[in-house]
Amino acid sequence: LVSRKWRVRPTVLDLGDGVRIGEGNLTLAAGPCSIESEQQMELIMQHLVDNDVRIMRGGVFKPRSSPYSFRGLGMEGLKLFHQMARERGIKIITEVMQVSQVEEMHDYVDVFQVGARNTQNFNLLDALGGVDKPVMIKRGISGTLEELLSSAEYVFSGGNEKLILCERGIRTFETASRNTLDLNAVPILKEKTHLPVIVDPSHGIGIREYVPTMALAGVMAGADGIIYEAHEKPEEAASDGAQTLNFQESERLIRNLRKVYAVR
Ligand code: PEP
Ligand code: MN
């Protein structure tokens, strides 16, 4: 069902208020790795509004490698995130980690994010097949493209056709970067599936200085959009600060992404 053999025409998702994801639209989503506070959201949303970025990312349930790391503000944080975003015309993408959260989060998100550690959580994918909100599935940490497409097939066959795929880097033998952003995935996925493909250069390379370059390369490779981490003070971010852009870097990147998208 997610194959081009089933549907040739590219899928375009409409989030409302003029926000569209897929062919003909450059989707930009930015925000902190973790939602941290009301004040932080205020600053980041202002940054997004100033740059006409319509989607904010930010986790409230965080999958952390260590149980002692910051694990997110939970539902209370999400409700505030949602309310503030609504007031500013911003759409929300945030990670859902387990089946029980799908229902409680439903009314407060615009796009459910399935994280790299949950790409093959088939119960979660089944549950998301039953909702009427878009789902962005990240490629598994050691996942093949075929496995990513199969994960999408779970959701699609469950009845939810509103899907986005995200290349976020895979684990390889290379240790010079956090992950290896596999830009090969973009043209291959674009050929195999009608679904929109988004690139996450932040997790893909894990090094702030190189995030803009890889973001631009992602657009040149044919991505429908870029999702990246931005924060008012990356050095103080509760998670993933080393791969997070400050507002100045983010603004410059947005300008360049639009230029590149216009001429590609
Ligand atoms: C994130 O988006 O902050 C995140 C945890 O991503 P991933 O699942 O790709 O590691
Ligand atoms: Mn992160």
pLDDT digits (tens, 9 = 90+) for 178-213: 999 999 999 999 999 999 999 999 999 999 999 999
Query: What is the per-residue pLDDT across 68-95, written as a single tens digit (0 to 9) for each?
Result: 999 999 999 999 999 999 999 999 999 9
CB burial readout 160-172, b (16+ within 10 A) else e: bbbbbbbbbbbee
Q: Which residues line ligand 1 (CB under 6 A)?
A: 33, 59, 63, 115-117, 138, 168, 203
Q: What's the confidence (pLDDT) of residue 154?
A: 98
Token output for 171: 């684990």
Mean pLDDT score of the chain: 98
Q: What's the confidence (pLDDT) of residue 180?
A: 98
DSSP state of 182: -
In angstroms, what CA-CA distances link 202 with 52, 66, 96, 242?
Answer: 20, 20, 19, 9
Query: For residues 148 and 165, what is the distance between their CA atoms, to the nearest angstrom?
Result: 8
Q: What's the confidence (pLDDT) of residue 104?
A: 98
Residue nearest to atom 2 of ligand 1 (CA): 33
What DSSP assignment string belongs to 121-177? -HHHHHHHTT-SS-EEEEPPTT--HHHHHHHHHHHHHTT---EEEEE--B--S--SS
Burial classification of residue 225, based on how many CB atoms lie within 10 Å of its CB (0-12 exposed, 13-18 middle, 19 or more buried) = buried
Q: What residues are paired with 29 via a beta bridge?
A: 55, 227
Question: How far does the centroid of ligand 2 lie from the alpha carbon of residue 243, in Å?
Answer: 8
Q: What's the confidence (pLDDT) of residue 56?
A: 98
Query: What is the per-residue pLDDT across 90-141, written as a single tens digit (0 to 9) for each?
Result: 999 999 999 999 999 999 999 999 999 999 999 999 999 999 999 999 999 9
What residue ranges define each of the domains in the chain, with the CATH number in brackets? 27-263 (3.20.20.70)
Token output for 70: 């910051």
Query: For residues 247 and 45, what is the distance between their CA atoms, to the nearest angstrom?
Result: 11
Question: How far does the centroid of ligand 1 lie from the alpha carbon of residue 59, in Å?
Answer: 8
Q: Which of 192, 215, 238, 263 is nearest to 62 (CA)?
A: 238
Q: How confident is the model at residue 38 (pLDDT cuts 50, 70, 90)?
A: very high
Q: Are 70 and 93 in contact (CB under 8 A)?
A: no
Question: pTM of the entire structure?
Answer: 0.98
Query: What is the per-residue pLDDT across 228-264, written as a single tens digit (0 to 9) for each?
Result: 999 999 999 999 999 999 999 999 999 999 999 999 9
Residue nearest to atom 6 of ligand 1 (CA): 115
DSSP state of 248: H
What DSSP assignment string belongs to 67-105? TTS----HHHHHHHHHHHHHHTT-EEEEE--SHHHHHHH
